[in-house]
């Protein structure tokens, strides 16, 4: 999708488009690193020195409300964000903290105690050592 088409798409979703917000959207596009708000802020602050951390965080909140990203709660030290919103799973390295997407379906049996609940989402989280860390 071309940049102008993307801007129109975001406007139709009701997003206020500013240069900073557009930079955040571009940073997240196809980003498989699962960045935190701090990661995004640090990556963009040189380009936008007047942008505050609050701007990044508030933009992420709006993007979650619009369904463009989701928060993944697998790193207890900070919130991480994923622009891949379709159901998928994750692996987190216990040494370096790197997060990988796992694009595989698993047969999950819903526990009986959840039978009265409406399940909206779930993920399997694997943890261990990534290929680089297991060699150390």
Task: Please tell me the distance from the alpha carbon of residue 56 to that of residue 62, in angstroms, as a whole number.
Answer: 10
Regarding whether 103 and 58 lie in a shared domain, the answer is no
The pLDDT, as a whole number, for residue 99 is: 94
Task: Please tell me the distance from the alpha carbon of residue 3 to that of residue 65, in angstroms, as a whole number.
Answer: 22
Q: Mean pLDDT of residues grouped by 10 in the chain (136 residues)?
A: 83 91 92 94 96 95 94 87 93 93 90 93 91 90
Tell me the residue range of the domain where 100 lies.
86-134
- Which of 81, 104, 126 finishes a domain? 81
Regarding whether 93 and 69 lie in a shared domain, the answer is no
The pLDDT, as a whole number, for residue 2 is: 80
The pLDDT, as a whole number, for residue 51 is: 94
| Surface-to-core class of residue 1, CB atoms within 10 Å of its CB (0-12 exposed, 13-18 middle, 19+ buried) | exposed
Q: Structurally, how many domains does the chain consist of?
A: 2
DSSP string, 123-135: --EEEE--HHHHT
The CATH number that applies at residue 121 is 3.30.1490.190
Regarding whether 96 and 57 lie in a shared domain, the answer is no
Regarding whether 113 and 56 lie in a shared domain, the answer is no
């Amino acid at each position: 999708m071309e940049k102008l088409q993307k801007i129109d798409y975001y406007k139709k979703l009701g997003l206020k488009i500013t240069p900073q917000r557009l930079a955040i959207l571009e940073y997240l596009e196809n980003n498989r690193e699962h960045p935190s708000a701090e990661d995004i802020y640090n990556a963009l602050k040189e380009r936008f020195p007047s942008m505050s951390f609050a701007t990044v965080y508030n933009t992420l909140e709006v993007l979650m409300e619009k369904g463009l990203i989701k928060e993944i709660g697998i790193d207890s030290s900070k919130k991480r964000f994923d622009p891949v919103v379709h159901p998928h799973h994750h692996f987190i390295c216990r040494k370096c903290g790197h997060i990988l997407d796992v694009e595989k379906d698993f047969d999950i049996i819903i526990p009986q105690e959840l039978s009265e609940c409406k399940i909206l989402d779930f993920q399997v989280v694997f943890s261990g050592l990534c290929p680089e860390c297991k060699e150390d």
